[in-house]
């Protein structure tokens, strides 16, 4: 099993020690599509999955979710979170065993979700339906100095409810001098790149596990597709995710790296538990790095 670069007490110590109010940001990959963003004392969890709920759920089925990477942190240890996001209703993005302890430790936490999923989210998390903050494709809200914009994603299609609201969202976060895009799970669809290009994205967090019908789960961008999307939206840096969590649904970053280098698309490969800080790379002149 893969061991995180840093985990549990060591990861907590790193997060607290890096909490500087210098205008820059720090980012840690927590596995799958989960990230922790730290900026000016504000902490945002993006689609965290920090449990073994799926491994237990599918253990006696023909689709076992065998974990590849050790758990990086107990969600009950995250007592300093201001905002959390959920991009869609799949358990590795909306996990009651992750978000329940986080909500318990952070009573004032603001939970950003697709508005179309409000009833589902409230039922799964056993919370008041009025608690989550709903966004839709093209809508925005500002929380703790961070502007969140919803961007529809296709997992595998752009699905909408009866009122036309997107069930799968990525989020653009604009804060200080920075713009970060977390796609959630997605394939590329017509007009997606043009929509994202207008945000002038600094860092794009994109899945690379691809689409394989034999997995019997909704697909995502492959490594080359993620690299191409990052290039086409003008992202100054691309960071891949959604790999090395479950044996049946993963990919290596190699094809992503190869395509980024061919396209001269700056990138950074993080390992689970590894941190990244904005000052470590001059995003305006970033070169490819592994």
> pTM of the predicted model, to two decimals?
0.95
pLDDT at 285: 41
Supply the DSSP symbol for 215.
G
Alpha helices (runs of H) in the chain, residue ranges in sequence order: 8-17, 53-57, 96-105, 118-125, 192-197, 223-233, 254-263
pLDDT at 284: 40
Band of residue 280 on the pLDDT scale cut at 50, 70, 90: low
Per residue in 156-203, pLDDT (tens digit) is 899 999 999 999 999 999 999 999 999 999 999 999 999 999 999 999
Question: Residues near 64 by Cβ (< 8 Å), separated by ≥ 6?
Answer: 55, 58, 248
């Amino acid at each position: 099993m893969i061991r995180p670069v840093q985990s549990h007490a060591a990861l907590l110590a790193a997060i607290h020690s890096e909490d500087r109010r210098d205008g820059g940001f720090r980012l840690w990959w927590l596995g799958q599509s989960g990230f922790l963003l730290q900026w000016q004392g504000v902490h945002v969890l993006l689609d965290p999955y920090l449990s073994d709920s799926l491994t237990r759920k599918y253990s006696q089925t023909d689709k076992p979710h065998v974990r590849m990477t050790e758990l990086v942190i107990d969600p009950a240890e995250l007592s300093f979170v201001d905002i959390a996001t959920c991009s869609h209703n799949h358990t590795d993005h909306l996990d009651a065993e992750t978000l329940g302890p986080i909500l318990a430790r952070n009573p004032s936490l603001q939970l950003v979700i697709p508005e179309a999923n409000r009833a589902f989210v409230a039922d799964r998390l056993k919370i008041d339906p009025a608690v989550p903050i709903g966004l839709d494709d093209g809508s925005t809200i500002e929380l703790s100095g961070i502007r969140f914009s919803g961007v529809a994603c296709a997992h595998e299609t752009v699905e909408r409810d009866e009122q036309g609201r997107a069930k799968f969202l990525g989020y653009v976060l604009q804060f200080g001098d920075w713009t970060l895009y977390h796609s959630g799970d997605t394939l590329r669809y017509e007009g997606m790149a043009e929509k994202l290009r207008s945000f002038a994205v600094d860092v794009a967090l994109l899945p690379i596990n691809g689409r394989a019908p034999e997995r019997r789960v909704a697909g995502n961008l492959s490594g080359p597709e993620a690299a191409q999307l990052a290039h086409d939206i003008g992202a100054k840096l691309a960071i891949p995710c959604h790999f090395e969590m479950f044996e049946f649904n993963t990919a290596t970053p190699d094809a992503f790296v190869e395509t980024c280098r061919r396209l001269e698309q700056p990138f950074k490969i993080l390992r689970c538990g590894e941190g990244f800080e904005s000052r470590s790379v001059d995003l305006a002149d970033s070169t490819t790095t592994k």
